[in-house]
Amino acid sequence: MKIIRWLLGRLILTLNFIFAPKKRKRTLEQQQTVDQETQSLQLYQFQACPFCVKVRRAMRRNALNIQLVDAKQTDNQQQLAEQGGKVKVPCLRIEEGNKVTWMYESSDIIAYLDNRFA
Ligand SMILES: N[C@@H](CCC(=O)N[C@@H](CS)C(=O)NCC(=O)O)C(=O)O
């Protein structure tokens, strides 16, 4: 079962690499503004999780440089459980001033990113 899961993960990553979506183009100034905004975002994820791949593709489409956090690492996983409420990925950590929101569900995350940056 572990091997099948691993193989499926590799297949997803390979297909994702071959059919990578086109990155949106911005002027240098526009991209710098977006990069500044995305500094307050982090995506907790697993590399080969299909839902995470879906979100990373949306990030690429919108040329969003969002920090990826490996939720397989014990300390990151603990942070996700304690602060986000559950160990489920993808999860977008959104920092707005003193307020931190942990957004689960790939479709909600993509809708949020599209709405904010598309
Ligand atoms: N409906 C969720 C599904 C996410 C999901 O099932 N993620 C898996 C990894 S591929 C997970 O975190 N499983 C751990 C768990 O459910 O406890 C989404 O679209 O984000």
Task: For 23-51, write each residue's pLDDT tens digit.
Answer: 999 999 999 999 999 999 999 999 999 99
Ligand 1 atom at minimal distance to the Cα of residue 49: 10
* 35 close to ligand 1 (CB < 6 Angstrom): no
Nearest CA to ligand 1 atom 13: 88
What pTM does this model have?
A: 0.94
Nearest CA to ligand 1 atom 16: 88
Alpha helix (H) residue ranges in the chain: 2-18, 28-38, 50-61, 74-79, 106-117
Can you list the domains of the chain with their CATH numbers? 2-22+37-117 (3.40.30.10)
Checking DSSP bridges between strand 99-104 and strand 91-96, what pairing results, if any? Answer: antiparallel
Nearest CA to ligand 1 atom 15: 88
**How many other C-beta atoms can be found within 10 angstroms of the C-beta atom of residue 81?**
13
Phi, psi of 90 (to 5 degrees): -75, 155
Helical packing angle, 50-61 and 2-18, nearest 10°:
10
Tell me how far apart the 2 most distant CA atoms of the chain are, in Å. Answer: 48
Whether residue 62 contacts residue 113, with contact meaning beta carbons closer than 8 Å, is answered with: yes
pLDDT tens digits, one per residue of 66-89: 999 999 999 999 999 999 999 999
3 pLDDT above the threshold of 90: yes
